[in-house]
Amino acid sequence: MAARAQHELLRFLTCGSVDDGKSTLIGRLLYDSQLIFEDTLAAVARDSRKHGTTGEDIDLALLVDGLEAERQQGITIDVAYRFFATPRRSFIVADTPGHEQYTRNMATGASNASLAVILIDARKGVLTQTRRHSYICSLLGIRDIVVAVNKIDLVNFDEATFERIVGDYVTFAAELGFRSIVPIPISARFGDNVTAKSGNTPWYHGPTLLAHLEGVDVSQDLSAKPFRFPVQWVNRPNLDFRGFAGTIASGTVAPGDQVVVAASGKATRVARIVAAEGDLDRAEAGQAVTLTLADEVDVARGDVLARPAERPAVADQFAAHLLWMDEEPMLPGRGYLMRIGNVWTPCSVTSIRHRVDVNTLEQHAARRLALNEIGFCNFSAGQAVPFDPYEENRATGAFILVDRFTNRTAGAGMIAYPLRRASNIHQEHFTIDKASRAALTGNRPIVLWFTGLSGSGKSTIANIVEQALHRAGRATYALDGDNIRHGLCRDLGFTAEDRVENIRRVGEVAKLMVDAGMIVMCSFISPFRAERRMVRDLLGAGEFVEVFVDTPIEDCIARDPKGLYAKAQAGQIKNFTGIDSPYEPPEAPELHIRTAGRAPEDCAAEVLEKLRAAGVRC
């Protein structure tokens, strides 16, 4: 074997159910490839007597179960990365947990792996979790699988058992699109067929696990794919140098190559490939380089350079698989932040086409995605972004969704294809615009968004404000739950999903009315920060005035103008805000009106004062 190939890296992950022996297997690989140092082994021998499950023997799982909490519980709760090398190859193993609630960790490990070792307990055979893990591997783009039938010693090294499990697995996995499935009977605890051939399985003629991992070809040949260069950082150390730093996602590049900026279509040529030790005459996928361009075209972080004849898709709407990883469920219409390549942009799911049951691979209708659920969804992003289908390019087809308030990484997406609907609806440019309409009415178009509990006085205050505006000759309109829910939103209920959609529609209507030059009063409980933020983002700067009508719930219950609290408390109304559905108060509203002990007229005067300050004549 050539010297260069000897140091090729293999990143793989191990997955299986609890107690299938993943940690023991990795401990065995480290132990048998002599990567365990004496002092580490001494510590493990000490710990084996304290936490171990193997009696007097050294518990190899303790070599890899890192965090104190999980060692005491005897389970692995987070992805751990392990390193070992043989003379033929270096390895990085992602040790991922088998627990149902930790699917996200498995996906994390799979996202950077090119092979998966799926453990199956020989006594139990193919389980629901086996199917789940295999599906996630497939979804994340893993094409090469090892089925390690573990604890073969506990079924007396029985060939028939092994064959039955392999048969079950191959049947199940037929639709998952794997390129190779290699089954190996092993005992992680005793080492059979892990690094050395076992005398206990004379009927098995295949390679040991380690021999297979050393020899397997998982190359994706990224350099043969179309050139993609996501610009990560614009390097301008002085006025004479303007370089574009980034990692080549696929393809190759050389000075003189024609390139285009994917989003703008601007074309130029590559001038130099700059590296610390001198210019390069060629660079390929995986290299972190700095390019300079022949012309002064507008290029920024987030742009993708490609060849003119092989461009990525550029779209703001697309269909993608989404794995949800947050405790807070994903609701269509809710705004998230998407990171794709080096671009951050607002993004929401416009519809869930179906949810995938990861155990049966069946497709179901769904209105939300909960933690660890996977759906196939339509997305709408705040700007057109360049991408490739994930199946063609993992680096340019993957994205994450981040919660706008907690900043948690909430979703992992894999793009299937662009949706063309946005590009087919060409926006007509009318000569009369918002400014001219506003000039005619003398209005400063604006949305007053009253949010607060039911019965807090939103509509009452809005009504007084509208009367005052009307008297002053301003063109106004009031949107509230009554006129919206009886028409535009009559198909919606009061679940979290429906509340999100309700506010999305109201937001769009309010936006049209602002465009028409109106002052719009919106009175909606609008309990979630995310949706109020969504409406704010729909409108221009200064056009959204959030008015928090802050009335203690005891006062609302005491007033109860529509008798709704009484019904909710009696259990006759479900999902009632403040009773069995949450209200998230605004963190920084433009106006915070505490109504306790005040007349509605007094509160309305405060709103009018704010409007005058914003330039509304009233």
Partner 1 sequence: MTIASPRSPLTPHLARLEAESIAIIREVAASFRKPVMLYSIGKDSGVMLHLALKAFAPGKPPFPLMHIDTTWKFREMISFRDAMAKQVGMELLVHTNPDGIARGINPIASGSALHTQVMKTEALKQALDKFGFDAAFGGARRDEEKSRAKERVFSFRGPGHSWDPRAQRPELWSLFNTRIRDGESIRVFPLSNWTEYDVWDYILAEDIPVVPLYFAKPRPVVKRSGTWIMVDDDRLPLEPGETPEMRMVRFRTLGCYPLSGAVESTAANLPDIIAEMRAARTSERQGRLIDTDEDASMEKKKREGYF
Between 361 and 400, name the residue whose CB sits nearer to partner 1.
400
Choose the binding region for partner 1 from 163-171, 230-238, 460-468, 505-513 (rule: CB under 8 A): 230-238
Task: Find out whether 444 and 475 touch, Cβ atoms under 8 Å.
Answer: no
Among residues 222, 398, 611, 618, which is the contact residue for partner 1, using CB under 8 A? 398
Among residues 1, 57, 67, 171, which is the contact residue for partner 1, using CB under 8 A? 67
In angstroms, the CA 405 to CA 20 distance is 38
From residue 297, how far is each of 76, 104, 304, 342, 550 by CA, in Å?
Answer: 50, 40, 13, 19, 52
Residue written as token pair 């979703």: 411
Least distance in angstroms from the C-beta of 584 to partner 1: 16
Q: Does 223 contact partner 1 by CB under 8 A?
A: no
Among residues 49, 123, 179, 236, which is the contact residue for partner 1, using CB under 8 A? 236
Between 85 and 435, name the residue whose CB sits nearer to partner 1.
85
Q: Does 222 contact partner 1 by CB under 8 A?
A: no
Choose the binding region for partner 1 from 256-264, 314-322, 402-410, 534-542 (rule: CB under 8 A): 402-410
The b-or-e profile of 400-437 (16+ CB within 10 A means b, else e) is: bbbbbeeeeebbbbbbbbbbeebeeeeeeeeeeeeeeb
Nearest to 229 by CA among 178, 273, 198, 188: 273
Identify the H or E element spanning 427. Answer: none
Q: What is the distance in angstroms between the CA of the first residue and the CA of the last residue of the chain?
A: 84
Among residues 156, 205, 217, 238, which is the contact residue for partner 1, using CB under 8 A? 238
Among residues 61, 120, 395, 564, which is the contact residue for partner 1, using CB under 8 A? 395
Q: Which two tokens stand for residue 89?
A: 């190859």
Task: Find out whether 353 and 319 touch, Cβ atoms under 8 Å.
Answer: yes
Q: Print the binding letters for residues 117-136 with partner 1: x by CB under 8 A, - otherwise.
A: --------------------
Q: Which two tokens stand for residue 177?
A: 């699109």
Among residues 9, 267, 512, 558, which is the contact residue for partner 1, using CB under 8 A? 9
Q: What are phi and psi of 304, to 5 degrees?
A: -120, 125
Q: Which residues contact 37 (CB under 8 A, 6 or more apart)?
A: none
Between 22 and 504, name the residue whose CB sits nearer to partner 1.
22
Q: Does 83 contact partner 1 by CB under 8 A?
A: yes
Residues 537-566 that bind partner 1 (CB under 8 A): none
In angstroms, the CA 198 to CA 187 distance is 9
Between 327 and 609, name the residue whose CB sits nearer to partner 1.
327
Between 274 and 573, name the residue whose CB sits nearer to partner 1.
274
Choose the binding region for partner 1 from 180-188, 281-289, 491-499, 587-595 (rule: CB under 8 A): 281-289
Between 4 and 205, name the residue whose CB sits nearer to partner 1.
4
Q: Does 284 contact partner 1 by CB under 8 A?
A: no
Task: Find out whether 280 and 273 touch, Cβ atoms under 8 Å.
Answer: yes
Q: Which residues are annotated as a binding site for ATP?
A: 452-459
Handedness of CA 43, 46, 50, 55 (dihedral sign): positive
Between 345 and 569, name the residue whose CB sits nearer to partner 1.
345
Least distance in angstroms from the C-beta of 320 to partner 1: 13
Among residues 55, 199, 237, 563, which is the contact residue for partner 1, using CB under 8 A? 237
- Residues with catalytic roles: 526
Q: Does 281 contact partner 1 by CB under 8 A?
A: no
Least distance in angstroms from the C-beta of 73 to partner 1: 13
Handedness of CA 313, 318, 324, 327 (dihedral sign): positive
Q: Which residues are annotated as a binding site?
A: 16-23, 95-99, 150-153, 452-459
Number of other CB atoms surrounding residue 48 within 10 Å = 19
Residue written as token pair 């179906």: 354
Judged on CB neighbours under 10 Å (0-12, 13-18, 19+), 63 is buried
Q: Print the binding letters for residues 240-259 with partner 1: x by CB under 8 A, - otherwise.
A: -x-x-xxx------------
Helix (H, G, I), strand (E, B) or coil at 153: helix
* Number of chain positions touching partner 1 (CB under 8 A): 71
Among residues 29, 107, 453, 484, which is the contact residue for partner 1, using CB under 8 A? 107
Residues 325-364 that bind partner 1 (CB under 8 A): 325, 337, 339-340, 342, 344
In angstroms, the CA 536 to CA 534 distance is 5
Between 85 and 440, name the residue whose CB sits nearer to partner 1.
85
Q: Print the binding letters for residues 293-322 with partner 1: x by CB under 8 A, - otherwise.
A: --------x---------------------
Identify the H or E element spanning 399. Answer: strand 398-402
Task: Find out whether 564 and 535 touch, Cβ atoms under 8 Å.
Answer: no
Choose the binding region for partner 1 from 61-69, 328-336, 579-587, 597-605 (rule: CB under 8 A): 61-69
Among residues 55, 56, 217, 278, which is the contact residue for partner 1, using CB under 8 A? 278
Among residues 20, 22, 31, 82, which is the contact residue for partner 1, using CB under 8 A? 82
Residues 151-210 that bind partner 1 (CB under 8 A): none
Choose the binding region for partner 1 from 1-9, 371-379, 545-553, 600-608 (rule: CB under 8 A): 1-9
Residues 492-511 that bind partner 1 (CB under 8 A): none
Q: Which two tokens stand for residue 457?
A: 């006085």
Q: Which residues are annotated as a binding site for GTP?
A: 16-23, 95-99, 150-153
Least distance in angstroms from the C-beta of 531 to partner 1: 20
Handedness of CA 16, 21, 27, 29 (dihedral sign): negative
Q: Does 28 contact partner 1 by CB under 8 A?
A: no
Q: Any idea what DSSP says for residue 483? A: H
Choose the binding region for partner 1 from 15-23, 309-317, 398-406, 501-509 (rule: CB under 8 A): 398-406
Among residues 18, 19, 47, 200, which is the contact residue for partner 1, using CB under 8 A? 47
Residues 455-484 that bind partner 1 (CB under 8 A): none
Task: Find out whether 413 and 379 touch, Cβ atoms under 8 Å.
Answer: yes
SS3 labels along 414-431: EEEEECCHHHHCCCCCCC
Q: Does 235 contact partner 1 by CB under 8 A?
A: yes
Q: Which residues contact 506 (CB under 8 A, 6 or more apart)?
A: 479, 484, 488, 489, 522, 524, 535
Residue type at 434? K
Between 88 and 437, name the residue whose CB sits nearer to partner 1.
88
The b-or-e profile of 182-196 (16+ CB within 10 A means b, else e) is: bbbbbbbbebbbbbe
Length of the chain: 618
